[in-house]
Copies of this chain bind each other. A is one copy, B any other.
Amino acid sequence: MANYDNIIVSTRVRLARNLKDIPFPSMLKGSPKSSEKVINSVIAVCDKLFEYNVYKMNSISEIDRVALQEMHFISPNLAANTENGVVCISKDKKMSIMINEEDHIRAQCVIHGFALEECYKNVNSFDDKLSEMVQVAYDEKLGYLTACPTNLGTGMRASVMMFLPALSQSGKLSKVITMVQQMGLTVRGMYGEGSSAAGYLYQISNQISIGVSEIDLLKTVANAVKMICESEELERDKLHKIQGIALDDKVSRSLGILLYAKRLNSSEFMEHMANVKLGTSLGILKLSMPMLNYLTEFCQPASLCNYSGGGKLSAKERDEARAELVRSKILER
Residues of A participating in the B interface, judged by any CB pair closer than 8 Å: 245, 248-249, 252-253, 255-257, 259-263, 320, 323
User: Which residues from B are CB-within-8-Å of A259?
Assistant: 256, 260
User: Which residues from B are CB-within-8-Å of A320?
Assistant: 245
User: Which residues from B are CB-within-8-Å of A248?
Assistant: 262
A262 and B262 CA atoms in complex are apart in Å by 22
- The A interface is mostly helix, strand or loop, or mixed, namely helix
User: Which residues from B are CB-within-8-Å of A252?
Assistant: 260-262
20 more A-B contacts (CB under 8 A) besides A249-B261, A249-B323?
A245-B262, A245-B263, A245-B320, A248-B262, A249-B262, A249-B263, A252-B260, A252-B261, A253-B260, A253-B261, A253-B262, A255-B260, A256-B256, A256-B257, A256-B259, A256-B260, A256-B261, A257-B257, A257-B260, A259-B260
User: Which residues from B are CB-within-8-Å of A263?
Assistant: 245, 249
Determine how close the nearest CB of chain B comes to the CB of A314; give it in whole angstroms. 13
A320 and B263 CA atoms in complex are apart in Å by 28
A29 and B323 CA atoms in complex are apart in Å by 64
A253 and B254 CA atoms in complex are apart in Å by 10
A263 and B252 CA atoms in complex are apart in Å by 10
User: Which residues from B are CB-within-8-Å of A261?
Assistant: 249, 252-253, 256
A203 and B260 CA atoms in complex are apart in Å by 32
User: Which residues from B are CB-within-8-Å of A257?
Assistant: 253, 256-257, 260
Determine how close the nearest CB of chain B comes to the CB of A286; give it in whole angstroms. 14
Query: A248: nearest residue on chain B (CB-CB)?
Result: B262
A271 and B262 CA atoms in complex are apart in Å by 19
Most-contacted residue by chain B among A245, A255, A260 (CB, 10 A): A260
25 A-B pairs with CB atoms under 8 Å apart are A245-B262, A245-B263, A245-B320, A248-B262, A249-B261, A249-B262, A249-B263, A249-B323, A252-B260, A252-B261, A252-B262, A253-B256, A253-B257, A253-B260, A253-B261, A253-B262, A255-B260, A256-B256, A256-B257, A256-B259, A256-B260, A256-B261, A257-B257, A257-B260, A259-B260
The 6 closest A-B pairs by CB, nearest first: A256-B260, A256-B256, A249-B262, A252-B260, A248-B262, A249-B263
Query: A258: nearest residue on chain B (CB-CB)?
Result: B256
A253 and B319 CA atoms in complex are apart in Å by 14
Determine how close the nearest CB of chain B comes to the CB of A265; give it in whole angstroms. 11
User: Which residues from B are CB-within-8-Å of A323?
Assistant: 249
A259 and B254 CA atoms in complex are apart in Å by 11
User: Which residues from B are CB-within-8-Å of A256?
Assistant: 253, 256-257, 259-261
User: Which residues from B are CB-within-8-Å of A253?
Assistant: 256-257, 260-262
Query: A250: nearest residue on chain B (CB-CB)?
Result: B262
User: Which residues from B are CB-within-8-Å of A245?
Assistant: 262-263, 320
A259 and B252 CA atoms in complex are apart in Å by 9
User: Which residues from B are CB-within-8-Å of A255?
Assistant: 260
